[in-house]
Amino acid sequence: MSDAAAPIIVADGLTKRFADVTAVDGLSFSVAPGEIFGLVGPDGAGKSATMRMLAGIMRPDTGAITVNDVDVVGNPEAAKPHISYMPQRFGLYEDLTVDENIRFYADLFEVPPALRDERAARLLTASGMSRFRRRLAGQLSGGMKQKLGLTCALVHTPQVLLLDEPTTGVDPVSRRDFWRILYELREQGVTIVISTAYLDEAERCNRLALLHGGRVLYCDSPAVLKQRMPGALVAILSSDGRAARAALSSKAGVTHLILVGDGVHAVVDDAERRIPELREALRRAGVPFSDIAVSAPSIEDVFVAMLENGESAR
Amino acid sequence: MTDRPDAGAQIVVEGLVKRFGRFVAVDGVSFNVGRGEILGFLGPNGAGKSTIIRILCGLLRPTAGRALVANIDVSRDPEAVRQRIGYMSQRFSLYRDLTVAENLRFFGGIYRVPASELAERMRFAIEMAGLSGREDALVATLAGGWQQRLALGCAVLHRPPILFLDEPTSGVEPTSRRRFWDLIHSLAGDGVTVLVSTHHMDEAEYCHRAALINQGRLVALDSPEALKRTALGGELLLVACEALGPALAALRQAPGVRDCSVFGSALHVLVDDAERAAHDLPAYLAANGIPSARATPIHPSLEDVFVHLVAADVAERSVAA
């Protein structure tokens, strides 16, 4: 997305404490219009608290938030028409049908019936749920419930969509469907903030904030994040990963050895220099291996490396 | 890794079928798991993974077919099977208002660990979980990663040769997750056979082999490396350009393109020949009014493979129906 555009969301120095726990600790970021921005991190990183503050339903202890130039902290009611917020447990009425749930949320947001019907039809088609309009929400699978929640949240076509862990516990096929809908919304100019504990979903965002313990470890695009990996990841394909790990465990320049199903991943300081050394060490130890090569690190690899280096954007 | 199952299979499943009324939850599934092998069980919700695991634990009787666990037929002697398996669920099944030691003692009782061995087994579990010195801490006060490792400790107190893990790492932070998998690999190295179900595709990378289940059927079973190399039936390209929407529409009509989808700020394109398409597609896009596109061959993820195989399976069935 164009970096030049004025941000539609600005969060500046957000802090939120619950008793003696600091859930969010001086968090700042901004989101450009039409961007998918990820709040990515494990449980307890501060994702949900941040989402609630952005939605104007929880006041930060300190810090400022604006959405479309509206002060969310000072005047949450004025911000709400710009925002649609889908919490982790979206309030679907399980004993109402798919259609009835949509109608309920449309009425809540005072959407005219003709507009509502047109939008509902389009969203249900996009999510592959048209066949289930008369099904009770309580009888939908987890992935379909999430898609219905999204449909309800979108029935008033907001400019900003806040999604709190919409894909948790959703299987990979439904997750892909869900992301396809988000990309279509982005095409239509909707700005999306999405939180997720699946680190691999970070790669689907335009930009992301990697959160840990309420603080930002990193904030930029996934491609730039991967370049921040200290050192390189070397994948060793071996039928005896344990032996390979043992043979390499005390080698110079190797900071990590991770057993995987196909062998071992080694994090090294300098791949070009270390690969010949590792190859030689494996040969000398008589460990069978079929390949040794630099491999693209996953976001998780980078996350773990950053945590261990004590690196932080602050 | 593919030679492992023959070396004394600990789990043998042959033509397994389970029906609930008219619903076929498991539809003729066969596979083996070798001693010391880690088999990943992947599949959408409702694919039949849990049903198969419950049959293997002796909790459900199969409608047809056979399942042997530690050479015992699970329908004939489920009680004997249960003594040889450990089970850990996604909720960790710990008592949060009991201490670490109390939980271990409780599970030691359930699994009938002899009193003479209990102290030593508890020491092993506490050390494995990294909880030395915190034996008297309430479980509720432990972070997710420690709870997870304690739950694993409880599940292996009675030295089961076979371990079932049902979505064991939901929501646990990455450093803890790595430590957990390290433990699983060291158990497997000691000969424990592990069957683990997961939604995290990246987690399947830790398994020796991965089984994909869809609508009760086994869709694929191979090492992660082999699945990524062969299962897509094509090669993957990352195409970066402006105007993703129009590019997507154009590429769907392009020669040699099998599939195309948005991924983050770019497109994933499945083609017959990545090297050739990396050369041809930017020119094709330029001719369609989308200049300066860049195409780079990339390695597919297991998620790419999974989604592709499930979609292919669904398509095949709708043709058959």
pLDDT tens, residue by residue, A156-196: 778 999 999 888 777 787 788 889 889 988 988 999 999 99
Instruction: Work out whether strand B9-20 and strand B64-69 pair parallel, antiparallel, or are unpaired.
Output: antiparallel
pLDDT of residue A4: 60
Probe site for chain B from A131, A176, A218, A226 (most B CB atoms < 10 A): A176
Give dist(CA B181, CA B64) in Å, integer.
34
Q: Which residues in chain B have Cβ-Cβ distances shorter than 8 Å to A267?
A: none
**Please, what's the largest Cα pairwise distance for chain A?**
75
In the predicted model, is pLDDT for residue B291 greater than 60?
Answer: yes
The answer to whether A282 faces chain B, any CB pair under 8 Å, is no
In the predicted model, is pLDDT for residue A310 greater than 70?
Answer: no
Instruction: For residue B313, name the pLDDT band (cuts at 50, 70, 90).
Output: confident
Q: Which residues in chain A have Cβ-Cβ distances shorter than 8 Å to B174?
A: 42, 199, 300, 303-304, 307
What's the gap in Å between the CA of A78 and the closest CA on chain B? 31
Q: Which residues in chain B have Cβ-Cβ distances shorter than 8 Å to A204?
A: 263-264
Can you name the residues that pair with A39 across neighbouring β-strands?
A195, A209
Give dist(CA B58, CA B51) in Å, integer.
11
Instruction: For residue B171, name the pLDDT band (cuts at 50, 70, 90).
Output: low
Q: Which residues in chain B have Cβ-Cβ distances shorter than 8 Å to A42?
A: 171-174
Of B143, B245, B298, the CB nearest to A187: B245
In angstroms, the Cα distances linking A217 to A308, B160, B221 are: 12, 41, 38
pLDDT of residue B307: 84
Q: Which residues in chain A have Cβ-Cβ distances shorter than 8 Å to B307?
A: 172-173, 176
Asked if A259's CB is within 8 angstroms of B181's CB, the reply is yes
Ramachandran quadrant class, A34 (left: phi over 0; alpha: psi -120 to 50; beta: rest):
left
Eight-state DSSP code of residue B317 = H
Q: What is the pLDDT of residues B174-232, one digit of tens each?
A: 788 888 899 999 999 999 999 999 877 778 889 999 999 988 999 999 999 899 888 88
Asked if B264's CB is within 8 angstroms of A200's CB, the reply is no
Contact B132, B126 (CB under 8 A): yes
Percent of chain B scoring above 70 in pLDDT: 96
pLDDT of residue B142: 86
Probe site for chain A from B45, B190, B302 (most A CB atoms < 10 A): B45
Q: Is B41 helix (H, G, I), strand (E, B) or coil?
A: strand
pLDDT of residue A98: 93
In the predicted model, is pLDDT for residue A3 greater than 60?
Answer: no
What is the side-by-side order of every strand in the sheet holding B235-240?
B257-263, B266-271, B235-240, B294-298
Of B189, B299, B306, the CB nearest to A172: B306
Q: Which of residues 170-229 of A touch B (CB under 8 A)?
A: 170-174, 176, 179-180, 183, 187, 197-200, 203-206, 212, 221-222
Q: Taking CA atoms, what residue in B is nearest to A295?
A: B299
In angstroms, the Cα distances linking A224 to A35, A132, A218, A302, B292 are: 16, 42, 10, 11, 20
pLDDT of residue A87: 87
Q: Which residues in chain A have Cβ-Cβ distances shorter than 8 Å to B299?
A: 295-296
Angle value at C-alpha B192, between B191 and B195, nearest 5 degrees: 135
Give dist(CA B174, CA B176) in Å, integer.
5
Give dist(CA A299, CA A307) in Å, integer.
12
Of B202, B225, B298, the CB nearest to A298: B202
In the predicted model, is pLDDT for residue B6 greater than 60?
Answer: no
What is the average per-residue pLDDT within B277-301?
92
User: Token pair 């299987």 is at which residue?
Assistant: A171
Give every CB contact of residue B42 below 8 A, 6+ residues apart in sequence: B49, B197, B198, B199, B201, B204, B210, B211, B212, B213, B302, B306
Asked if B170's CB is within 8 angstroms of A222's CB, the reply is no
Give dist(CA A291, CA A265) in Å, integer.
12
Give dist(CA A175, CA A167) in Å, integer.
6
Asked if A242's CB is within 8 angstroms of B189's CB, the reply is yes
Contact A305, B179 (CB under 8 A): no
Asked if A176's CB is within 8 angstroms of B245's CB, the reply is no
pLDDT of residue B1: 42
Side-chain-side CA neighbours of A233 within 13 Å: the count stands at: 21
Q: Which residues in chain B have Cβ-Cβ distances shorter than 8 Å to A300?
A: 174, 202
pLDDT of residue B319: 75
In the predicted model, is pLDDT for residue A226 greater than 90?
Answer: no
Of B174, B209, B264, the CB nearest to A304: B174
Of B45, B172, B264, the CB nearest to A142: B45
What's the gap in Å between the CA of A107 and the closest CA on chain B? 32
Eight-state DSSP code of residue A136 = B
pLDDT of residue A311: 47
Ramachandran quadrant class, B26 (left: phi over 0; alpha: psi -120 to 50; beta: rest):
beta
pLDDT of residue B7: 54
Q: Is A196 helix (H, G, I), strand (E, B) or coil?
A: strand
Per the prediction, chain B carries an average pLDDT of 89
DSSP string, A105-121: HHHHTT--HHHHHHHHH
pLDDT of residue B92: 66
- Its sign, for the CA torsion B1, B2, B7, B13, is positive
Give dist(CA A248, CA A240) in Å, integer.
13
The token pair at B145 is 């990663």
What is the average per-residue pLDDT within B160-177?
83
Q: What is the pLDDT of residues B76-92, one digit of tens each?
A: 999 999 889 999 887 66
Highest mean pLDDT among A209-218, B23-32, B195-204: B23-32
What's the gap in Å between the CA of A174 and the closest CA on chain B? 8
Contact B221, B34 (CB under 8 A): no
Probe site for chain B from A174, A224, A260 (most B CB atoms < 10 A): A260
What is the average per-residue pLDDT within A22-48?
92
Contact B150, B129 (CB under 8 A): yes
Q: Which residues in chain A have Cβ-Cβ distances shorter than 8 Å to B310?
A: 172-173
In the predicted model, is pLDDT for residue B13 greater than 90?
Answer: yes
pLDDT of residue B3: 42
Supply the angle between the helices B144-155 and B100-110 in degrees, to the nearest 10. 30
CB pairs under 8 A between A and B: 116
Q: Which residues in chain A have Cβ-Cβ distances shorter than 8 Å to B225?
A: 237, 261-262
Can you name the residues that pair with A208 across neighbouring β-strands?
A38, A220
Give the closest residue to A105 by CA, choosing from A139, A137, A57, A67.
A137
In angstroms, the Cα distances linking A212 to A27, A197, A201, A313 are: 11, 11, 16, 11
Give dist(CA A95, CA B97) in Å, integer.
35
Give dist(CA B238, CA B224) in Å, integer.
21
Instruction: For residue B170, name the pLDDT band (cuts at 50, 70, 90).
Output: low
In the predicted model, is pLDDT for residue A312 greater than 70?
Answer: no
Give dist(CA B163, CA B11) in Å, integer.
11
- Residue A295 buriedness (CB in 10 A; 0-12 / 13-18 / 19+): middle
Of B46, B174, B263, the CB nearest to A303: B174
Q: Which residues in chain B have Cβ-Cβ distances shorter than 8 Å to A212?
A: 173
Asked if A261's CB is within 8 angstroms of B207's CB, the reply is yes
Type of residue found at B53? I
What is the average per-residue pLDDT within B281-299?
93
Instruction: For residue A313, name the pLDDT band (cuts at 50, 70, 90).
Output: very low
Asked if B43's CB is within 8 angstroms of A171's CB, the reply is yes
Instruction: For residue B285, name the pLDDT band (cuts at 50, 70, 90).
Output: very high
Give every CB contact of residue B64 below 8 A, 6+ residues apart in sequence: B15, B16, B17
User: Token pair 């107190």 is at which residue?
Assistant: B157
Contact B96, B138 (CB under 8 A): yes
Asked if B185's CB is within 8 angstroms of A242's CB, the reply is yes
pLDDT of residue B8: 80
- Its sign, for the CA torsion B245, B246, B250, B256, is negative
In the predicted model, is pLDDT for residue A33 greater than 60?
Answer: yes
Q: Which residues in chain B have Cβ-Cβ distances shorter than 8 Å to A147?
A: none
Q: Is B50 helix (H, G, I), strand (E, B) or coil?
A: helix
